[in-house]
């Protein structure tokens, strides 16, 4: 069997239905093989390799399967790097296949930069942002390397893997029956002592809360954590990429936390005596620069598969539990029958704070986004780009029971939302709404042609404030309003999105006020570009106050109100 045929049969055996990439000379054997298996797996051409990488991420996020992207060597491979980094920092199981020059054309140990045309050592380049990366120089190693890479992508803290495939390896024939396989060591997971420890601390606590991180979503445990929250009746907050874990209207949902998080969510943390963090890195954006001042009255239990994250402590006496959330949470849920519900008085305190602070930072443009979110149907996927648009979605969107939201969290890559929406559609086969800023959408705007070609139901929302709003806000606060390179007339501009939609043959809607959001009901099942017109003087509030408690965010609360809430 031809090696590239074997690769595709391997993906099919894992239930992968769609892969993404861009043609090139030394990946043509793989592309040719896709035609043989087109009834079982679809190979989609994007219009930039970075977009293919983001599409693979979106596919993995929405399906909980392996996301796959392929490219040719040289610039094709290097254009993947941003997407690979995104998968690494957000723990997304993905596999990247790069074509490479024939093994006999590799430079080897020669002291030259390049021997073969478009030769580049992509394995070396991505070694710091992959869980496993290898060049397959022997065709008979293909089964071993595929199986090992697949296991690595999902084991422990998930992430990206890469196989670099020389052209002569791709076209080689192998005897499938004699290929060597990979047999990983399987670890048995028993968490009796760990769950007993968590239950013991819960029984002692008067004001406990749960902090849900992205690891819960990535492990497919959203339904289980919802049951845990309900059984315990425990106030729950989220890291930003996990803010959709509970519906927004759930009585125990107290928002996402951190620098731009909900004020009431940060207050809940600040007033807790026990914080159980599950799959959250507790990075600077979440806890602030003064880590020892984060929730100073709380004992912290950290549950994470990544033992290295414990090397960056928040409190000196925190309890760290290394555990695979997929195994740990069901076991914890089973043991909760031995724990009483959390005191309703504590839930009432959290609810009072939420009611007092909901809408505190709302502006006309954020109210518009809130109204838009209410019009979105329940059973859809949402992707968000990086910048003000991403944070506004987390702050304002009324997430419903069956909605999921995906974003570029750790790497923060502009241009993520549109191609990720394409991958997310093929991963879940339900409509996708892609939120973008006018700056971010231009990073991969060529993917509008993908929508024009395929007619898939992806609705591209452009929040157009005619500026790079997040940086503009930073310039306003720190550079005496010197808006260089961020606003029109100062080096930045955005296109006419109506004309752009016509050029791509897409439906177009413009939303300028809350009543206009009703227009969304006119959309059918064809892709569309929806422009939301905003003032260029938009801001991202609230923000951490420097060197202050995380609940003391800028613009600062009225001091009487702040002290009143602190005394509750």
DSSP state of 262: -
- pLDDT confidence of residue 105: 85
CA dihedral 382, 388, 391, 396 (to 10 degrees): -80
Cβ pair 8, 33 in contact under 8 A: yes
- As a whole-number percent, the residues of the chain with pLDDT over 90 amount to 86
Closest to 70 (Cα-Cα) out of 154, 5, 167, 165: 165
Q: Is the pLDDT of residue 546 over 70?
A: no
Average pLDDT, the chain: 95
Cα(69)–Cα(57) distance, integer angstroms = 9
Q: Is the pLDDT of residue 4 over 80?
A: yes
CB count within 10 Å of CB 323 equals 20
Helices 3-13 and 142-154, packing angle to 10 deg: 30
Give mean pLDDT, residues 523-537: 94
Q: What is the CA angle 495-498-499, rounded to 5?
A: 70
What is the per-residue pLDDT across 416-442, written as a single tens digit (0 to 9) for each?
999 999 999 999 999 999 999 999 999
- pLDDT confidence of residue 189: 72
Sequence-separated (6 or more) residues with CB below 8 Å from residue 34: 8, 19, 41, 43
What is the per-residue pLDDT across 24-53, written as a single tens digit (0 to 9) for each?
999 999 999 999 999 999 999 999 999 999
For tokens 């740990």, the residue is 328
DSSP 531-554: EEE--TT-----EEPTTS-TTSEE
Cα distances (Å, whole numbers) of residue 344 to 207, 234, 349, 394, 485: 10, 9, 9, 27, 52
Least confident of 334-343, 479-488, 491-500: 334-343
Domains observed in the chain: 3-178 (3.40.50.970), 192-357 (3.40.50.1220), 364-540 (3.40.50.970)
Give mean pLDDT, residues 78-101: 98
Give mean pLDDT, residues 296-311: 93
What is the per-residue pLDDT across 203-220, written as a single tens digit (0 to 9) for each?
999 999 999 999 999 899
Give mean pLDDT, residues 158-182: 97
Cα distances (Å, whole numbers) of residue 449 to 34, 75, 415, 422, 500: 22, 21, 15, 11, 11
Chain mean position to CA 279? 13
pLDDT band at 304 (very low <50, low <70, confident <90, very high): very high
pLDDT band at 539 (very low <50, low <70, confident <90, very high): confident
Q: What is the 3-state secondary structure (H, E, C) of 217-229?
A: HHCCCHHHHHHHH
Strand ranges in 12-86 using DSSP code E only, listed in sequence order: 18-21, 42-45, 67-71
Give the containing element (helix H, strand E) for 60. Answer: helix 49-63
**Where on the phi/psi map is residue 406: left (φ > 0), alpha (ψ -120 to 50), or beta?**
beta
Chain mean position to CA 509? 27
pLDDT band at 133 (very low <50, low <70, confident <90, very high): very high
Cα(520)–Cα(318) distance, integer angstroms = 48
Q: Is 66 exposed, middle or buried (0-12, 13-18, 19+ CB in 10 A)?
A: buried
pLDDT band at 185 (very low <50, low <70, confident <90, very high): confident
Closest to 248 (Cα-Cα) out of 374, 345, 366: 374
3 state DSSP class of 363: coil
Q: Is 297 exposed, middle or buried (0-12, 13-18, 19+ CB in 10 A)?
A: exposed
Helices 364-375 and 388-396, packing angle to 10 deg: 60
Q: Using the Cα atoms of residue 279, residue 285, residue 288 and residue 294 in order, give the sign of their dihedral.
A: negative
What phi, psi does 564 have (nearest 5°)?
-65, -45
Cα(537)–Cα(503) distance, integer angstroms = 29
- As a whole-number percent, the residues of the chain with pLDDT over 70 amount to 99
Helices 263-271 and 559-567, packing angle to 10 deg: 40
Cβ pair 47, 450 in contact under 8 A: yes
Chain mean position to CA 547? 28
What phi, psi does 113 have (nearest 5°)?
-75, -30
Cβ pair 550, 285 in contact under 8 A: no
Higher pLDDT, 183 or 11: 11
What phi, psi does 540 have (nearest 5°)?
-115, 95
């Amino acid at each position: 069997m031809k090696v590239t045929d074997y690769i595709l049969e391997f993906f099919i055996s894992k239930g992968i239905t769609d892969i993404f990439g861009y043609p090139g000379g030394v990946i043509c054997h793989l592309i040719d093989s896709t035609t043989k298996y087109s009834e079982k797996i679809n190979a989609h051409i994007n219009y930039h390799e970075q977009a293919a990488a983001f599409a693979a991420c979106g596919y993995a996020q929405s399906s909980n399967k392996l996301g796959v992207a392929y490219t040719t060597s040289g610039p094709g491979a290097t254009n993947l790097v941003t997407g690979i980094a995104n998968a690494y920092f957000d723990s997304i199981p993905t596999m990247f296949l790069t074509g490479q020059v024939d093994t006999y054309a590799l430079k080897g140990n020669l002291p030259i930069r390049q021997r073969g045309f478009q030769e580049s050592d992509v394995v070396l380049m991505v070694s710091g942002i992959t869980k496993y990366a290898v060049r397959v120089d022997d065709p008979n190693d293909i089964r071993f390397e595929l199986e090992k890479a697949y296991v690595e992508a999902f084991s422990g803290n998930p992430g990206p893997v890469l196989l670099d495939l020389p052209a002569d390896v791709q076209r080689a024939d192998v005897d499938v029956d004699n290929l060597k396989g990979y047999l990983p060591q399987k670890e048995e997971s028993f968490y009796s002592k760990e769950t007993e420890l968590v239950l013991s601390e819960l029984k002692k606590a008067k004001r406990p809360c749960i902090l849900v991180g992205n690891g819960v979503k990535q492990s497919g445990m959203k339904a289980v954590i919802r049951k845990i929250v309900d059984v315990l009746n425990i106030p729950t907050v989220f890291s930003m990429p996990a803010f959709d874990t509970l519906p927004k209207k759930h009585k125990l949902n107290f928002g996402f936390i951190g620098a731009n998080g909900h004020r009431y969510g940060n207050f809940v943390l600040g007033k807790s005596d026990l914080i159980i963090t599950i799959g959250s890195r507790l990075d600077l954006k979440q806890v602030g620069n003064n880590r020892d001042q984060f929730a100073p009255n709380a004992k912290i239990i950290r549950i994470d598969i990544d033992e290295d994250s414990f090397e960056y402590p928040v409190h000196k006496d925190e309890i760290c539990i290394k555990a695979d959330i997929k195994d740990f949470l069901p076991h914890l849920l089973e043991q909760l029958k031995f724990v009483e519900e959390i005191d309703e008085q504590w839930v009432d305190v959290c609810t009072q704070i939420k009611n007092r602070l909901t809408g505190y930072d709302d502006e006309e443009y954020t109210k518009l986004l809130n109204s838009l979110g209410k019009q979105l149907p329940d059973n859809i996927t949402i992707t968000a780009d990086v910048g003000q648009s991403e944070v506004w979605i987390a702050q304002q969107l009324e997430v419903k029971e069956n909605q999921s939201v995906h974003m570029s969290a750790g790497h923060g890559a502009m241009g993520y939302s549109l191609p990720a929406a394409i991958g997310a559609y093929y991963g879940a086969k339900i409509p996708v709404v892609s939120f973008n800023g006018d700056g971010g959408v231009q990073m991969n705007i060529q993917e509008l042609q993908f929508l024009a070609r395929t007619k898939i139901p992806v609705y591209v929302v452009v929040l157009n404030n005619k500026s790079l709003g997040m940086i503009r806000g930073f310039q306003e606060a720190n550079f005496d309003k010197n808006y260089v390179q961020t606003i029109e007339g100062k080096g930045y501009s955005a296109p006419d999105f109506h004309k752009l939609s016509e050029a791509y043959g897409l439906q177009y809607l413009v939303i300028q006020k809350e009543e206009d959001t009703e227009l969304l009901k006119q959309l059918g099942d064809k892709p569309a570009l929806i422009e939301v017109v905003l003032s260029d003087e938009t801001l991202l509030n609230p923000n951490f106050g420097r060197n202050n408690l995380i609940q003391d965010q800028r613009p600062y609360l009225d001091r009487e109100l702040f002290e009143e809430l602190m005394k509750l």
